[in-house]
A and B are shown apart, each in its own frame.
Chain A
Amino acid sequence: MNVITNPGKLRGIERRVQVEKISRRGILKGLGIAGGFVLAAPVMTRQAFAYKTGAGDMPHGTVADPRVFVAIASDGTVTIVAHRAEMGTGVRTSLPMIVAEEMEADWSRVKVQQAHGDEVRFGNQDTDGSRSTRHYLLPMRQIGASARAMLEAAAAKRWGVPAAEVKAVNHEVVHSATSRRLGFGELAADAAKEPVPNVEGLKLKNPKDFRYLGKGQIGIVDLRDITVGAAQYGGDVTLPGTKYAVIARPPVTGGKLKSFDATDAMKVSGVEKVMEVQGWPWPSKFQPVGGVAVIARNTGAAIKGRDALKIVWDDGANGKYESTAYRTQIEEAARKPGLVVRKEGDVDAALKGADKVIVGEYYLPHLAHVAMEPPVALANVKDGRCEIWAPVQSPGGTREDVAKTLGIPQENVTVNVTLLGGGFGRKSKCDFAIEAALLSKAIGAPVKVQWTREDDIRNGFLHTVSAERIEAGLDKSGKVVAWRHRSVAPSIASTFAPNAVHQAPFELGMGLIDMPFEIANIQCENPEAAAHTRTGWFRAVSNIPRAFAVQSMVGELAHATKRDQKDMLLELIGSPRIVKLDSVKDPWNYGEPYDSYPIDTARLRRVVEVVADKGGWGRAMPKGHGLGIAAHRSFVSYIATIVEVSVGAKGQLVVHRVDTAIDCGTFVNPERIESQIEGAAIMGLSLAKYGEITFKDGKVQQGNFDDFPVIRMDEAPLITHVHIVPADADAPPSGVGEPGVPPFAPALINAIFAATGKRIRALPIGKQLET
C-alpha cells in the first residue's frame, strides 16, 4: 500500500492525491468519434472555450486578475508577469504573449517580469507536468481581455462615447467614427480606475485576428541576454558579502554523518568555515539529506576544501542496494501475479486459449536528470526574513518549505526565480534552496550553495528503475486477444512515505492503465517494489518505461505475425473511439477531466498516419538501414515518431532522420513546440543509448558526463522533422514539454530491429550492438 502521510501538507505528490479523488467525476460520456483527418483545421476558431481543465484542482488554482499580471506605464510600456518558471520550454515568452495578444499590446513594447513565489497572489506556480499552456491559455486570455476592456472603457469615458464604439488596436484605443486615438500609456492611469470586468462577460478576440498566437514568429524574451552572457541563472546572482559553499552529502540514501575531520580542509586557501548541515531522515520529501559544508571566499576554494575533508558515514539500511541484484529481483516479481490495477475480460483464460503467446520482458535503469545547470541557490537570512534566488520549478513550494524549515512565516520568505539552466523535474525539489537558507542562517551572511555535477548525479532524485513484462496472446488469425502488462518499479511515493511499494495512481496512469489498445482481454498488474534511493519526476516520468515496453511489443508482434509495424500499431489502436476505462479505479488522466481530455484513439491514429505520410514510412532503405515507429499519448497529447537508423559492422549506430508528429490540441507557440520535440529526440536518444545509473553498496557508481554520457552533436540525429498536427477547432491545449520523450526509444529500438534483426529489450543499448 502507498501510505501518504499528511497529504494535505505535502506538495507535489499530494496534489495528485487530491486530483485522484476529484478526477473520478471524469466519467465517460461517450462523446463519440472526435477528430477526423483534416490537416487544415484552423487553430482556435471558437470564441467560447468548450473545455475544462484540472487547473482549478491544483494548489491555489488559477488567478485571472489583470491587476496582478499587467502593468501599463505612462510611456506605454506594458509589463506582463510570467508566473511560471523558464527552464527552456519558452513559457516565459508564451504565456505573456497570450496576454499581449488579447489586450492588443504591441509585443515590442512589452516587458516580461518574473513573479516571485506567491501562489495566493499568482495562482499555482508549479512548473511541471507539461501543464503551463494547458492550464493557463484561458486564464491568460481572460487577463488580456480584461485589460483591453478596461483600456477601452477609459477611452470611451474620455471621449464621452459608448464603449461599444471604441476598439483597442495595436497599443492604442481607437474611435473610428471620429478618427480619435489614445495610446495605452495615455490611458493607463484612467484604465487602472476602471472596475475589472466579470470573466463571464468578457469578449475574447476572434482567433482569425491573432497576430502572435499560433504563429511562431516571436523569439524568446531572453534570447539576446542568453547570447551575450547577461541572462541570470541560479548561480549568477551575488549579494555583497556572499560566501560560497559546497556540501559533502551522505553517499547512501538514508545515510548519516558519523564524524568528520576538517583539519586539512581548513588549510586550503580561501576556505573560511567547515560545519555540519542538518539532514532529515529518509523519506523526507524535499528536505536536505544533510552532510558537511565547506564555506569559502569562492566556489573553487570550497570544492578544494571539500576534497580535503575526512568523513565517516553511517550508510544505514540502503547500504546494500546493488543494481544487478535488484534487477533480478524486479524481473522475477514481474513474472508473478501482482496487484491488479486494470481488468477487462478474462486475460488468464484468453492467454491459455491463445494460439500463440508472445512475451516481452523489458528493463530500464535509473536515470539522472543532468540539467546543464546543477542545483544552486543563494539565500540571505537576516532579521527573521529570508530571501532566496534559485532556479526552482516550484517557487511556491520552495517558499512553503523554506519557511517551515526556518520556522518563520511564509510572508517573511521571498523566493526569486532565476532562469533555470534546465529542469527536467529535478528542480521541482527545493532541497538545495533549503540548504542555502540553513547555512545563511547559521553564519549570518548570504550563502550560495553550488552542487557539483557529481553531487547532482549522486544525491539527486533519480528516475525510477523499472521491469516491464508484457504477454500478448494471439488467435489463429494473428489477432491480439489478450494483453497482460506487469510493471514493477519503485514509486515516487517512496520519497514521501515509508514502505510505499506500489505505484501511485499518477504513475499507473502514465502508459499502464491508460493503454489505448482495442483488445478484448486486458489486465494490468503492479507487483511490489521497494525503493532504496530517492526517486523523483524525470521528464515524462513513468511514460518512458511504459511506452518502451508497449511500443517494443508492437514491433515484436508485427515481426511475429509478419506484418508492417505501422499496420500492426494501427490494428492494435483499433477503431476511432473514446477509450473506456471502466475497470480502472482511478484513471488519473494527468489531473484533467476526462470529458475534456478523453483518450481519443482517432487522434492517436491520426498522428500515426501523419508521421507515416510526412516521414516517408515504407520508403526504400539502403542496406543496413531500418525504420521504426512508435506512438504514445502522454500529458494528454498524442505523439508518433519514426526513426531511421543504420548499424555498422562493428555496431556503430547512426540516427539518420527523425520524424515526429504531435497533436497537442490548440497551440500557442509552434516554434517552441518544434524546439521541444527536437530536444526530446536528443534526450530520448541519450537515455536509449547511454542512460544508466547503477548502485553498488548503496552508492551511485557514476559521477559525471564521462561515465553518465549524454548525446553530443557528433552523435545527434542528422535531421529531426517536427509535424504539428492542427487540432480540431475546440480541442483543448495539452502538454508539449514532456510527451516527445517516451516514443523515441521504442521507435529507435524498432528501427534497430528492422536494420539488424536484433531486438533490444533492456536499456541502455550500450554495447549490445557490438556483438
Chain B
Amino acid sequence: MIKVKVNGQQRDWDGDPDLPLLWYLRDEIGLTGTKFACGQALCGACTVIVNKQAIRACVTSVSDVVDREITTIEGLHPTGDHAVQKAWRQVNVPQCGFCQTGQIMQAAALLMENPKPNHDQIREAMAGNICRCGCYQRIENAVHLASTGV
C-alpha cells in the first residue's frame, strides 16, 4: 500500500507501484486535467507540480512521489483563479487547449522559482512544453502578464 497526497488529499494506492503517476491521476482517481501526449517526458502535457517543482507525470512512478505534495491543474487554485490561469484567459491563449493545463502548471512553477522572468527566461523555461497549435506567442505574453500582475 502506497500513500499518495494529491491536491491536499491523502489517498492509498494498492496497485503497481511503478505505475506512471499520469495514469494513476487520470484512470484511477479521475483527475483528467493532466494530459497524455507523448509518454516520454518530451512534451510537457502531463506537467504537475511536486514540492514546488514542475515534473512530468508520464515518466514519474507513483512510488516516486510518496510523501510528496502533488498539485495538479485541478488543485492549482481553489477557484481556478491563479494569476497564470487568469492571464491565460485574458490573453485568449488556447486554440485546441489540450496542452494548456501542462503549460499553465509549467508557468506556475516557473513563477514560484522566478517571479519576474524576462523574455529569454520565459522562452527557455517553457521550451519543454509543446503546443502543436502554435500558441507560443500568446503563452509568452500570458506568462509575462501573470508575472507583472493580471
Q: Chain A: residues with CB nearer than 8 A to chain B?
A: 86-90, 219-220, 222-224, 226-233, 235-236, 238, 244, 268-270, 297-301, 303-304, 370-374, 419-424, 450, 452-453, 671, 675-676, 678-683, 704-706, 710-717, 719-720
Decide if the interface of chain B is mainly helix, strand, loop or mixed: loop
Q: Please give the distance in Å from A201's CB to the nearest CB on chain B.
A: 38
Smallest Cβ-Cβ distance to A303: which chain B residue: B39
Q: Please give the distance in Å from A744's CB to the nearest CB on chain B.
A: 11
Encode contact with A along B30-65: 1 for CB under 8 Å, 0 otherwise.
111111111110110100000000000000000000
Q: Please give the distance in Å from A745's CB to the nearest CB on chain B.
A: 14
**Chain B hits for A299, CB < 8 A:** 23, 26-27, 36
- Identify B95's interface contact among A88, A301, A714, CB under 8 A: A88
The 5 lowest CB-CB distance pairs between A and B, nearest first, are A229-B33, A682-B134, A421-B98, A300-B23, A88-B96
Q: Please tell me if B4 contacts chain A, counting CB pairs below 8 Å.
A: no
Q: Please tell me if B80 contacts chain A, counting CB pairs below 8 Å.
A: yes
Q: Are A270 and B16 touching (Cβ within 8 A)?
A: yes
Q: Please give the distance in Å from B117's CB to the nearest CB on chain A.
A: 12
Given contacts A372-B35, A704-B40, could you give 14 more A-B pairs where the C-beta distance is less than 8 Å?
A224-B89, A226-B88, A226-B97, A227-B80, A228-B85, A270-B15, A298-B15, A371-B132, A450-B36, A681-B134, A682-B136, A705-B40, A706-B40, A713-B123
**Chain B hits for A421, CB < 8 A:** 35, 37, 96-99
**Chain B hits for A90, CB < 8 A:** 95
Q: Please give the distance in Å from A316's CB to the nearest CB on chain B.
A: 28
Q: Please tell me if B3 contacts chain A, counting CB pairs below 8 Å.
A: no
Cα distance A228–B33 in the bound complex, in angstroms:
8
Q: Are A238 and B30 touching (Cβ within 8 A)?
A: yes
Q: Please tell me if B139 contacts chain A, counting CB pairs below 8 Å.
A: yes
**Chain B hits for A220, CB < 8 A:** 92, 94
Q: Are B42 and A236 touching (Cβ within 8 A)?
A: no
Cα distance A710–B133 in the bound complex, in angstroms:
11
**Chain A hits for B122, CB < 8 A:** 713
Q: Are B40 and A233 touching (Cβ within 8 A)?
A: no
Q: Are B19 and A298 touching (Cβ within 8 A)?
A: yes
* A-B CB contact pairs (8 Å), 8 listed: A298-B24, A298-B26, A372-B132, A679-B135, A704-B39, A705-B42, A706-B40, A720-B137
- Identify A716's interface contact among B85, B97, B136, CB under 8 A: B136
**Chain B hits for A223, CB < 8 A:** 89, 92, 94
Q: Are A233 and B134 touching (Cβ within 8 A)?
A: no
Q: Please give the distance in Å from A684's CB to the nearest CB on chain B.
A: 9
Q: Please tell me if B147 contacts chain A, counting CB pairs below 8 Å.
A: no
Q: Please tell me if B22 contacts chain A, counting CB pairs below 8 Å.
A: yes
Cα distance A230–B30 in the bound complex, in angstroms:
11
Smallest Cβ-Cβ distance to B143: which chain A residue: A713
**Chain A hits for B24, CB < 8 A:** 298, 300
Cα distance A303–B96 in the bound complex, in angstroms:
26
Q: Chain B: residues with CB nearer than 8 A to chain A?
A: 15-16, 18-20, 22-24, 26-28, 30-40, 42-43, 45, 72-74, 76, 80, 85, 88-89, 92, 94-101, 104, 122-124, 126-140
Smallest Cβ-Cβ distance to A234: which chain B residue: B98
- Identify B94's interface contact among A226, A238, A297, CB under 8 A: A226
Smallest Cβ-Cβ distance to A450: which chain B residue: B36
Cα distance A450–B26 in the bound complex, in angstroms:
12
Task: Given A224-B89, A370-B132, A679-B133, verify A233-B98 contact (CB < 8 Å).
Answer: yes
**Chain A hits for B31, CB < 8 A:** 229
Cα distance A704–B123 in the bound complex, in angstroms:
22
- Identify A422's interface contact among B32, B80, B96, B126, CB under 8 A: B96
Q: Identify which of B19, B99, B104, B126 gathers the most chain A CB atoms within 10 Å of its CB.
A: B19
Smallest Cβ-Cβ distance to A453: which chain B residue: B38
- Identify A711's interface contact among B16, B99, B134, CB under 8 A: B134
Smallest Cβ-Cβ distance to B87: which chain A residue: A227
Q: Are B27 and A300 touching (Cβ within 8 A)?
A: yes
Cα distance A298–B24 in the bound complex, in angstroms:
8
Q: Are A269 and B16 touching (Cβ within 8 A)?
A: yes
Q: Are B124 and A229 touching (Cβ within 8 A)?
A: no
**Chain A hits for B28, CB < 8 A:** 298
Q: Are B137 and A719 touching (Cβ within 8 A)?
A: yes
**Chain B hits for A269, CB < 8 A:** 15-16
Cα distance A301–B137 in the bound complex, in angstroms:
37
**Chain A hits for B19, CB < 8 A:** 270, 298, 300-301
**Chain B hits for A453, CB < 8 A:** 37-40
Task: Given A226-B100, A678-B135, A683-B134, verify A372-B37 contact (CB < 8 Å).
Answer: yes
Cα distance A483–B28 in the bound complex, in angstroms:
62
Q: Identify which of B30, B36, B42, B43 gathers the most chain A CB atoms within 10 Å of its CB.
A: B36
Q: Are A705 and B38 touching (Cβ within 8 A)?
A: yes
Q: Are B40 and A716 touching (Cβ within 8 A)?
A: no
Smallest Cβ-Cβ distance to A705: which chain B residue: B42
**Chain A hits for B37, CB < 8 A:** 372-374, 421, 453
- Identify B42's interface contact among A373, A419, A420, A704, CB under 8 A: A704
